[in-house]
Amino acid sequence: MDFSDEEVLARASSGDRDAFGMLYERYVDRIFNYVYYRTGNVNDAEDLTARVFQRAMNHIVNYTDRGVPFSAWLYRIAHNLVANWHRDRSRRQEIPIADAPLVAKGDAPETSLVHTEQRESLLRLIRSLPAERQTLLILKFVEHYSNAEIGAIMGRSEGAVKSLYHRTLLALRDQIGDYSDYSD
Amino acid sequence: MSTKKKIEPADMEAQLERAFQPVQPSRTFVKTVRGRIQRIAPSVVVASHPASDVPHLLLVIGGVLSALLLLAAGARALFYMLNKAKM
């Protein structure tokens, strides 16, 4: 039987562990993706994802529906934990994204290598953006949420998300080097 | 001649689309955390923060204040009677 988020949430809020387990299964992939792209490595992403759900479970009884999706609450917890993680690691050297490299099928090895390097440098660049811009890009390109849905999660209006997205694209373009070579 | 061209927003979006591929957490990890959720004692999960129960909190504060008031009145009466006995 398929329960709605509201039904499962009501049960989870009254201490039903099975209901919380259902919520966990519904959202674990999304939270993992968010944390993975914010941290850049699988081990930390797994550790932080586990902590997000641990914290959510400890506070689910205090959860109040304020008209925003439940995922917004989870993303908020994830955002705070990732921020703490970055603070803790600010004195250490950055670990480059090394796991799960994507190699396009059919590409020649040297082409694949170029694509992987381009992807990694773009991800590094994205991780240097302010947190809210990273969140926006992850929600848009990994989760394929609409501007309205992203607005609900980030606590902004649809227009504000659209504007922030536009500014983020421009900032990224400027940071990439602004221009690419071509021959006449 | 080599000149330079601005990256179009559409090209930028295509690059982002390629960079952000959905990733899957390992099944072992998902199962381990799921198991941990099941093992946590229900009392830990249902325990609510005392401060969140406002009527209960008001009742406790009211009770404490009443008891203090009663004690103060008792002490005052005692002093009054002792002073009267001395005189």
Q: What is the pLDDT of residue A38?
A: 94
Mean pLDDT of A60-86: 89
Residue A125 in this model has a pLDDT that exceeds 70 = yes
Q: Does the beta-carbon distance from A57 to B13 stay under 8 Å?
A: no
| Cβ of residue A10 closer than 8 Å to a chain B Cβ | no
Q: What is the pLDDT of residue A81?
A: 95
% of chain A beyond a pLDDT of 90:
48
Digit-coded pLDDT (tens) for A102-111? 434 444 555 5
For B22, residues 6+ apart whose C-beta sits below 8 A from its C-beta are A29, A33, A142
Q: What is the pLDDT of residue B5?
A: 61
Residue A117 in this model has a pLDDT that exceeds 90 = no
Residue B6 in this model has a pLDDT that exceeds 80 = no
Residue B38 in this model has a pLDDT that exceeds 50 = yes
The continuous run of DSSP H or E covering B6 comes out as strand B2-6
Domain with CATH 1.10.1740.10 in chain A: 1-100
DSSP B44: H
Q: What is the pLDDT of residue B2?
A: 46
A179 pLDDT tier (thresholds 50, 70, 90): very low
DSSP symbols for chain A? -PPPHHHHHHHHHTT-HHHHHHHHHHHHHHHHHHHHHHH--HHHHHHHHHHHHHHHHHHGGG----SS-HHHHHHHHHHHHHHHHHHHHTTSPPPP--SS----TT--HHHHHHHHHHHHHHHHHHHTS-HHHHHHHHHHHTS---HHHHHHHHT--HHHHHHHHHHHHHHHHHHHTSEEEEE-
Q: What is the pLDDT of residue A29?
A: 95
Q: b vs e for A137-175, b when ≥16 Cβ sit within 10 Å of the residue's Cβ?
A: bbbbbbbebebebbbbbbebeeeebeebbeebbeebbee
Integer-rounded Cα Rg, in Å, for chain B is: 35
> Structural domain boundaries of chain B?
9-39+53-86
Domain with CATH 1.10.10.10 in chain A: 104-184
Q: What is the pLDDT of residue A21?
A: 92
For A148, residues 6+ apart whose C-beta sits below 8 A from its C-beta are A158, A161
Look over chain B and give the mean of its residue pLDDT values, rounded to a whole number: 81
Q: Report the topology of domain A1-100.
A: Rna Polymerase Sigma Factor; Chain: A (1.10.1740)
| Cβ of residue A163 closer than 8 Å to a chain B Cβ | no
Minimal C-alpha gap between A48 and chain B (Å): 11
Residue A124 in this model has a pLDDT that exceeds 50 = yes
pTM of the model: 0.70
Between B49 and A12, the more confident residue is: A12
Chain A residue with minimal CA distance to B52?
Answer: A62
Residues of B in contact with A176 (CB under 8 A): 7
Q: Report the topology of domain A104-184.
A: Arc Repressor Mutant, subunit A (1.10.10)
Q: Taking Cα atoms as reference points, which of A77, A27, A24 lies closest to residue A16?
A: A24
